[in-house]
Amino acid sequence: MRHKLLRIALLHCGLAFSGLCHADDAAGPLPYSFGQGYRSGDYYLSGYANLQMEDPFGQPAKLALEDLSLFIGGNSGRWINPFTEIELTRQTLIKQGGNPGHGNIVVERLYNDELLSDQDTLRIGKVLTPLGDWNTVFAAPLVPTVTRPNTTALGFETNESGVTWMHNVQDGETPDLQLYSQPDYEWFERLPRETLRHFQNVYGAHINKPFGLIDKAGASFQHGELVETGEEYTVYGMNVMRTFGNLMLESEALASRFYGRELPWAPPRLHSSESGIFGLADYSFTQKWHGIAEWEHYQDHLVASPSMNWLVGIDYKPKSYMVWKFEYVRQYGTPTSFSPILTGFNCSFSTLF
């Protein structure tokens, strides 16, 4: 199965590269713009890099190339519009005490868009699941914090592989709607050391109502099966973003129910439900300097006590596509061994290229 999917990925890359080369022959050297990548005609090659330093209290500090992502895509007409994102992730460069370890190559996205009409698109392949808002834009240069909230990463399938129907009028008023179905396992599943959970037989929906260029509110639904435990789950989510002058407020919440049989080797289900909520404030002192504050509460159904965390940070954006971040995070409630978020200092440099 993996070899078959690899051939599909290579086909997507080949389609995009052949388009770039064809455009290059017709138009001369490929134009390059830092932050936007190589673009020639309807084809492009771009990506982003995220260099991150973590200094959690009581644990070794490390410097890592957290993400090095490459985007390859094109728009060849109504039926052929491939897109591929391949990334090197969690490549530790320096670690206190030695033994830095190795990163992983991940196929983050791999799909083709078929344009059914001006408002409707059929997307086939592996995509960022439209549950909430953060999961679809979580590339480091585009989000305000180094630390990703648990609410946006746990408890649901983040990379759905299957068929997605998208309805988008793009008039700034009509709600956007997405329906998706993953009838089997995720394509190019991440290894156990890369993620705590894998999902199968997933379907769901997301509706998002815009209120201008930035402000929005949305609701999500997803149903599936947790591979590690054999449980079924149903999750409901909401997201909202609102601006007040220089202040941007953002929040997401989810609530899910886990039920059904558990595999004999699965950890015991301590709660029948899982829930999370976070709130974030982003205040722009100037166009380049931003102050960040965030709070989150998350209850995992396999962990006895909830995780609560808050952070404060500063973002510096010398360019629209480039950002330096520095933050202090405080996590409490859940023991360190069970929490993806640790108390300490984090800083990062990330840029689109």
CA dihedral sign, ordered 146, 152, 155, 156: negative
Sorting pLDDT into bands at 50, 70 and 90, what band is 73? very high
SS3 155: coil
194 φψ region: left (φ > 0), alpha (ψ -120 to 50), beta (else): alpha
CB 292 within 8 A of CB 280: yes
pLDDT of residue 14 exceeding 60, the answer is no
Sorting pLDDT into bands at 50, 70 and 90, what band is 2? very low
Structure tokens at 184: 């089997």
Cβ neighbours of residue 336 closer than 8 Å, sequence gap 6 or more: 58, 59, 342
Q: What is the pLDDT of residue 30?
A: 56
Q: What is the pLDDT of residue 335?
A: 85
Q: What is the pLDDT of residue 15?
A: 45
For 141-162, what is each residue's pLDDT tens digit? 999 999 999 999 999 999 999 9
Q: What whole-number distance in Å separates Cα of residue 67 and Cα of residue 44?
A: 20
Q: Which amino acid is at 273?
A: S
Q: What whole-number distance in Å separates Cα of residue 86 and Cα of residue 9?
A: 9
Residue bearing the bigger pLDDT, 343 or 6? 343
Give the domains, in start order, of the chain with CATH numbers. Answer: 2-352 (2.40.160.10)
Longest distance between any two alpha carbons in the chain, whole Å = 62
With CA atoms as reference, report the closest residue to 325 among 138, 48, 50: 50
What is the model's pTM?
Answer: 0.86
Sorting pLDDT into bands at 50, 70 and 90, what band is 164? very high
Cα–Cα distances in angstroms (integers) from residue 65 to residues 139, 184, 296, in the given order: 13, 32, 26
CB atoms within 10 A of CB 184: 11
What DSSP line would sit under 88-121, residue for residue? EEEEEEEETTS-----EEEEEEEEEEEE-SSSEE
Q: What whole-number distance in Å separates Cα of residue 323 and Cα of residue 339?
A: 26
pLDDT of residue 9 exceeding 60, the answer is no
Sorting pLDDT into bands at 50, 70 and 90, what band is 1? low
With CA atoms as reference, report the closest residue to 47 among 55, 38, 57: 38
Q: What whole-number distance in Å separates Cα of residue 277 and Cα of residue 275?
A: 7
Q: What is the pLDDT of residue 186?
A: 93
Query: What is the rounded average pLDDT of the residues 150-175?
Result: 93
Q: Which secondary-structure segment (H or E) carries 10? A: helix 2-27
Structure tokens at 57: 């209290």
Q: What is the pLDDT of residue 254?
A: 97
For 177-229, what is each residue's pLDDT tens digit? 999 999 999 999 888 777 889 999 999 999 999 998 899 999 999 999 999 99
With CA atoms as reference, report the closest residue to 252 among 233, 271, 239, 270: 239
Q: What whole-number distance in Å separates Cα of residue 157 and Cα of residue 124?
A: 16
Q: What is the pLDDT of residue 21?
A: 45
In the chain, pLDDT over 70 holds for what percent of residues? 92
Q: What whole-number distance in Å separates Cα of residue 75 and Cα of residue 56?
A: 44
Query: What is the rounded average pLDDT of the residues 151-177?
Result: 93
Q: What is the pLDDT of residue 27?
A: 44
Sorting pLDDT into bands at 50, 70 and 90, what band is 6? very low
CB 228 within 8 A of CB 266: yes
Q: Which secondary-structure segment (H or E) carries 18? A: helix 2-27
Query: What is the rounded average pLDDT of the residues 89-95?
Result: 94
pLDDT of residue 121 exceeding 50, the answer is yes
